[in-house]
């Protein structure tokens, strides 16, 4: 049987790689250039992603792009809560809240979110206890340093080993705080305190994280490393590189793919899934 994530009653079945559509409700989010700052635009965008085949919608009110300024609790709430309330009514999809703040986690779940996606791995004060009390599945992501400074000089002895160790520790801490292991997802955090070489090592070595015994989420969509590898400066031109990267992530064990370009990724996974369904060849007699 496949792992399932019960997102406040909306179940995400991980019988194949599932597509998480990104809904930035931030004026400075790098790939949307702020056009989703308004509630209507964000809701319309999210509903379009649902049309394109997203399995879950990730709502974020604080841009965590390198160098981004921090956002106050009130500002983050003002951005995301109205969007979550509308989407909880207008779509049947599970909704995740992309936040590190306990207050935003609580308000978002009260508004209809069914998963917490924390780029800071529930390390902010009160985050672990808030997530445990809310009882929804959580995504624990690795980040080296803080969004403001993480890309200045990222350094590792062995990035795969160090990220693996960090995620193992976050799983342990989450379980100690009362979060059931079956509600935990891990994520190596592509681009969060990593050079392109580090991101490539993490993608190549993604299978390492499967041994942590929880689903793996991969999010490379339109990121700087994809731009560097493909020479595509404009984030909107990084679709093909992003789809390629997420197909490799799926091949190497990721079962949630966090993307901007849902339709393209859904098509790629349809091809992936058809091949995965081909019966294994009978052993030679
Ligand atoms: N779990 C998870 N959440 C995320 N939120 C962002 S925001 C930056 C961007 O989309 O470029 N990235 C990620 C990611 O990689 N994993």
pLDDT at 135: 98
Residue of 30, 219, 246 best suited for mutating to test ligand 1, as the one with most atoms within 8 Å of CB: 219
User: How many A from CA of 284 to the centre of ligand 1?
Assistant: 45
| Residue 192 phi, psi dihedral angles, 5° rounding | -100, 80
Residues 241, 206, 61, 116, Cα dihedral to 10°: 150
Catalytically annotated residues = 223, 258
Give the Cβ contact number of residue 152 at 10 Å: 10
Spatial contact of 109 and 130, defined as CB atoms under 8 Å apart: no
Which ipTM was obtained for this model? 0.99
pLDDT at 32: 53
User: How many A from CA of 86 to the centre of ligand 1?
Assistant: 22
pLDDT at 144: 97
Q: 93, 89, 102, 166: which is closest to 138 by C-alpha?
A: 102
DSSP calls for 135-187: ---EEEE--SS-TTTTTSS---SSHHHHHHHHHHHHHHHHHHTT--GGGEEEE
Question: Does the C-beta of 246 come closer than 6 Å to ligand 1?
Answer: no
Q: Output the six-digit token pair for 181.
A: 């292991």
pLDDT at 65: 77
Residue with the smallest CA separation from ligand 1 atom 4 is 119
Ligand 1 atom at minimal distance to the Cα of residue 30: 11
Q: How many residues does the chain have?
A: 285
pLDDT averages per 10-residue partition of the chain, 285 residues: 96 98 77 62 96 98 82 94 97 98 98 98 98 98 93 96 98 98 98 98 98 98 98 97 98 98 98 95 85
Question: Does the C-beta of 142 come closer than 6 Å to ligand 1?
Answer: no
**Distance (Å, rounded) from C-alpha 283 to C-alpha 153?**
50
Spatial contact of 89 and 82, defined as CB atoms under 8 Å apart: no
| Residue 12 phi, psi dihedral angles, 5° rounding | -100, 110
pLDDT at 234: 96
User: How many A from CA of 92 to the centre of ligand 1?
Assistant: 23
């Amino acid at each position: 049987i496949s792992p399932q994530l019960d997102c406040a009653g909306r179940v995400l079945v991980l019988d194949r790689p599932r597509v998480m559509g990104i809904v930035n409700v931030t004026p400075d989010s790098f790939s949307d250039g702020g056009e989703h700052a308004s509630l209507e635009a964000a809701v319309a965008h999210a509903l379009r992603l649902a049309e394109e085949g997203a399995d879950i919608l990730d709502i974020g009110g604080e841009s965590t792009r390198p160098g981004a300024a921090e956002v106050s609790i009130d500002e983050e709430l003002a951005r995301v809560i109205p969007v979550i309330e509308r989407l909880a009514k207008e779509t049947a999809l599970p909704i995740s809240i992309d936040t590190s703040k306990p207050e935003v986690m609580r308000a978002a779940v009260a508004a209809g979110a069914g998963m917490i996606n924390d780029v800071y791995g529930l390390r902010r004060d009160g985050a672990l206890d808030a997530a445990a009390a809310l009882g929804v599945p959580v995504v624990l992501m690795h980040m080296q340093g803080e969004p403001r400074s993480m890309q200045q000089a990222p350094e590792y002895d062995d990035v795969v080993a160090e990220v693996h160790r960090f995620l193992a520790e976050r799983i342990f801490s989450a379980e100690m705080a009362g979060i059931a292991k079956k509600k935990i997802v891990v994520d190596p955090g592509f681009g969060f305190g990593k050079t392109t070489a580090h991101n490539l090592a993490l993608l190549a070595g993604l299978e390492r994280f499967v041994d942590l015994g929880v689903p793996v989420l991969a999010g490379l969509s339109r990121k700087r490393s994809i731009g560097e590898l493909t020479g595509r400066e404009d984030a909107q031109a990084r679709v093909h590189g992003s789809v390629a990267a997420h197909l490799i992530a799926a091949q190497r064990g990721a079962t949630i793919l966090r993307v901007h370009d849902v339709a393209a990724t859904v098509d790629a996974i349809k091809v992936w899934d058809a091949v995965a369904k081909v019966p294994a060849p009978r052993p030679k007699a």
